[in-house]
Amino acid sequence: MRTDPEALTGLLNWRARLLKLDGLSPVIGQDGALEWGTLADAPDDAELVFLGMEDGKACFAAVPANGAGGPAYADPAIWSAMRTLPPSDLATYGGARSLVDWHARHRFCARCGAATRLAKGGWQRDCPICEAQHFPRTDPVTIMLVEHDGQLLLGRQPRFPERMYSALAGFVEPGETIEEAVAREVHEEAGIRVNAVEYVASQPWPFPSQLMIGCYCTCDDPAITIDRTELDDARWFSREELEAARDAGHEGTAELIFPQRSAIAHNLVTWWLGR
C-alpha cells in the first residue's frame, strides 16, 4: 500500500486513526495505552506518515515541526512510557517516533539542498530537483556481555543513576563486521581483548533510530583499563550479585541496579543467568 498513492489517499478518511504525540513523546490514555485521535486532530499543514493497518483502520502519525532537540533519556515521559506501555503499544510508538523524528530532521536534500517531499506513505523522501531518494535510517549498535570465569563485565556511563550498570555498547563503524565492532568497543572502553563473539538477540531502540545487536563473548585476561571519556566505571559481577539485583526489583541492591526491563541489556543478562 505504501507504493500505491491512490490507495493511500483513499485511506485518508473519517475512519483513519492518528497517533497522538506531544512533540515526540507519547500521549498515554486513562487506560494506560497509547491515545489515538482522528485526522482532524492533525495540524492543517502537517505531513502524515502511514504506520499501517489495525482492525481495518489506517493508522497515521503527524510529523512535528521539530525533531529531537536533545537526548531521549533526558525526557521523563520516555522512561515512564517504557515502564508502563503494553509491549505492542511500545513497539508502535517506537516505530512512529523514529519515523516522524527522521522526517522532521530531513526536510532538505542531502545532495542538493532542495526541499524534499514525503513519499511512499512516509517511508521515503524524494527530491524534486535532483531526483535523489532518501530513506529512514537505522544505525546498528552492538551491545555485549563479556564473561570471564563465571562473571560478567558491566559498565556505567556518567548519565546513569548511581549503582546502575549495563552491558557495554557502541556504534558499528563503516567497514566493520558485528564481531569486529564488539571487539573494538570492549577494548576501547575497558581495555579487554575478547574471544568468540556470538550473536544472541536484537532490539530496535528508537532514540533516535538504533538497532541494538546483542552479543556474548569471553576473555582470557580480566584486567580492566577504563576509558573515562566513555565510562564512569566498569567491573565484574558474579552470578550471585546479578541474581540478587534482579530479585530486588527497581531499587536494586547496595551494589547494583539491574538493567531496566525495556532495555535489551535486561534480556541479555537474564539470558546469561539462565544458561
Mean pLDDT over 254-272 rounds to 94
pLDDT at residue 69 greater than cutoff 90: no
Inter-CA distances, 238 with 71, 116, 164, 190, Å:
32, 53, 15, 18
The mean predicted confidence, pLDDT, of the chain is 94
The verdict on domain 5-134 having CATH code 3.40.50.2300 is no
Pairwise pLDDT comparison (83 vs 54), residue with the higher score: 54
How confident is the model at residue 261, as a pLDDT?
86
How confident is the model at residue 80, as a pLDDT?
78
pLDDT at residue 97 greater than cutoff 70: yes
Q: Which residues of 249-271 are buried (b: 16+ CB within 10 A; e: fewer)?
A: eeebeeebbbbeebbbbbbbbee
How confident is the model at residue 9, as a pLDDT?
94
How confident is the model at residue 42, as a pLDDT?
94
How confident is the model at residue 250, as a pLDDT?
85
Q: By mean pLDDT, which of 43-57, 80-94, 101-115, 260-274 is the weakest? A: 80-94
| pLDDT level of residue 131 (50, 70, 90 thresholds) | very high
How confident is the model at residue 262, as a pLDDT?
85
How confident is the model at residue 63, as a pLDDT?
96
At 147-184, the pLDDT tens digits run 999 999 999 998 888 999 999 999 999 999 999 999 99
How confident is the model at residue 101, as a pLDDT?
94
pLDDT at residue 249 greater than cutoff 70: yes
- Bond before 43 cis per omega within 30 degrees: no
Pairwise pLDDT comparison (250 vs 79), residue with the higher score: 250
At 193-241, the pLDDT tens digits run 999 999 999 999 888 889 999 999 999 999 999 999 999 999 999 999 9
Q: Which fold has domain 139-273?
A: Nucleoside Triphosphate Pyrophosphohydrolase (3.90.79)
Pairwise pLDDT comparison (75 vs 127), residue with the higher score: 127
| pLDDT level of residue 74 (50, 70, 90 thresholds) | low
Amino acid at 57: K
**Domains of the chain, residue spans:** 5-134, 139-273
How confident is the model at residue 153, as a pLDDT?
98
Mean pLDDT over 35-45 rounds to 94
Cβ–Cβ under 8 Å, residues 26 and 85: yes
Cβ–Cβ under 8 Å, residues 143 and 215: yes
Inter-CA distances, 266 with 118, 153, 157, Å:
37, 14, 16
